[in-house]
Amino acid sequence: MNTRNLLDVIVVGGGAVGASAAAALAQSGFDVALVEPNPPTASAEDAPLDARVIALSPASVRFVERLGAWPLSAARAFAYREMEVRSGDEVLRFGRELVAEPALGWIVELRALQARVFDAARSRVAAVHAARVVDCERGEREARLELDDGTRLRARLVVSAEGGRSSLREAAGITADGRDYLSRGIVAHLTTEQPNPGIAFQRFLKGGPLAFLPIDGGRSSLVWTRPEAEVEPLLALDDAAFCDAVAEASGLRFGRVVAATSRVAFPLRLQLAERFHAERLVLLGDTAHVVHPLAGLGLNLGLIDAAALVDVLVDARTRERDLGSLATLSRFDSWRRSDTHAAARAIDAIERGFGGDLGRVGQWLSRGLGLVDALTPAKRFFAAAACGDIGRVPRMAQR
């Protein structure tokens, strides 16, 4: 068996959040190992755009850019310069001019982003292990991991970025509460009668929101939340009938839907860890919080987790404090748990209100859109929030 010397940090999970944390910590001078059993690879340059796309805020883009993982290929990342939210007859619109940014955000192929960030990590960390964790022991002074290839690793701190089903979180006795939305998000890429000019459009409907997100060639990426009972019938429609159903649900915002790629659906749930740390262990990304996609915050929250952890550990090193102690990690916990829990609960309330679960609350929310649209300072606040520039922003994500 191979036993390494004591590392500063072991990151478990090589998705965009885990790899960005590993790359940023190594770039900041920490001795880091990354454990990921299935290292991500990019699509071929001429491959069709993958169905899984995500929204990246300018704050998240600044972070990955400072890791050398941005920009992506023009065929894998698409700027949106305006947001439009509708509910009934009310509408809220705001654009990048309110925040002096080149874009309000980017719609990005997740696979391409993961591959670029993983490459950034691989070029910086002490070692990458394509293996799984089979055992973790956390002691007073260090943590010890055993991998399924026989490797044993020691570190002052273990970072779990394994996703929503984290074995390390469960082994630490950290519970995760939430609820199943009993709905799924249907995704596909659409060609519409009128090209999407770079607008992130969302319409709230009973049962869940519908979003058109701008991608290549004036197309839109669809994310349509529907109750579980409606999902299979929608997936079973032929292409023409599915396009008609989507166009009607969108209120013909970009005219008729003339073509759609194959569609898939993924389950939606809210899941929040009761705490984001234990001694020698910290949780990032979906391991700590899973939120509804209606605001596009999921991956952005995780990337800011990673950037915030760098701030906390750099400060601990400067003050000559133990990187994995409860005292150090409680600072990260109080920062990120308060921010992410507040965001998750707000998104959950909006989803329930607009979706009809809260009765007359949805009517008041709809009227609120029109009121906000009439107030430039309010719109500027929402634009700044969309950019990730509200509240405490980690150094690597700041302007």
Closest CA to 55 of 24, 16, 19, 13: 16
User: Across-strand partners of 127?
Assistant: 33
CATH number of 3-79+110-177+269-394: 3.50.50.60
Q: What is the pLDDT of residue 3?
A: 47
Q: pTM for this one? A: 0.94
With tokens 């989507």, the residue in question is 246
Q: How far is CA 82 from CA 36, 78, 213, 360, in A?
A: 37, 12, 11, 29
Q: What is the pLDDT of residue 371?
A: 74
Q: What is the DSSP string of 321-333?
A: --TTSHHHHHHHH
* In the chain, beta strands by DSSP E: 3-12, 32-35, 53-56, 77-80, 82-87, 90-95, 105-109, 127-129, 133-138, 143-147, 152-160, 176-192, 199-204, 210-214, 220-227, 257-260, 264-273, 277-278, 281-283, 289-290
Q: Where are the domains of the chain?
A: 3-79+110-177+269-394, 182-268
Q: What is the pLDDT of residue 2?
A: 46
Is the backbone of residue 296 left (phi > 0), alpha (psi -120 to 50) or beta?
Answer: left
| pLDDT, tens digit only, all 399 positions of the chain | 344 589 999 999 999 999 999 999 999 999 999 999 999 999 898 999 999 999 999 999 999 999 999 999 999 999 999 999 998 888 999 999 989 889 999 999 999 999 999 999 999 999 999 999 999 999 999 999 999 999 999 999 999 999 999 999 999 999 999 899 999 999 999 999 999 999 999 999 989 999 999 999 999 999 999 999 999 999 999 999 999 999 999 999 999 999 999 999 999 999 999 999 999 999 999 999 999 988 778 899 999 999 999 999 999 999 999 999 999 999 999 999 999 998 888 888 777 777 655 445 455 566 677 777 777 888 888 788 889 998 899 999 998
Q: How far is CA 52 from CA 223, 367, 398, in A?
A: 10, 33, 27
Q: Which CATH superfamily is domain 182-268 in?
A: D-Amino Acid Oxidase, subunit A, domain 2 (3.30.9.10)
Question: How many Å apart are CA 373 and CA 89, to the nearest integer?
Answer: 13
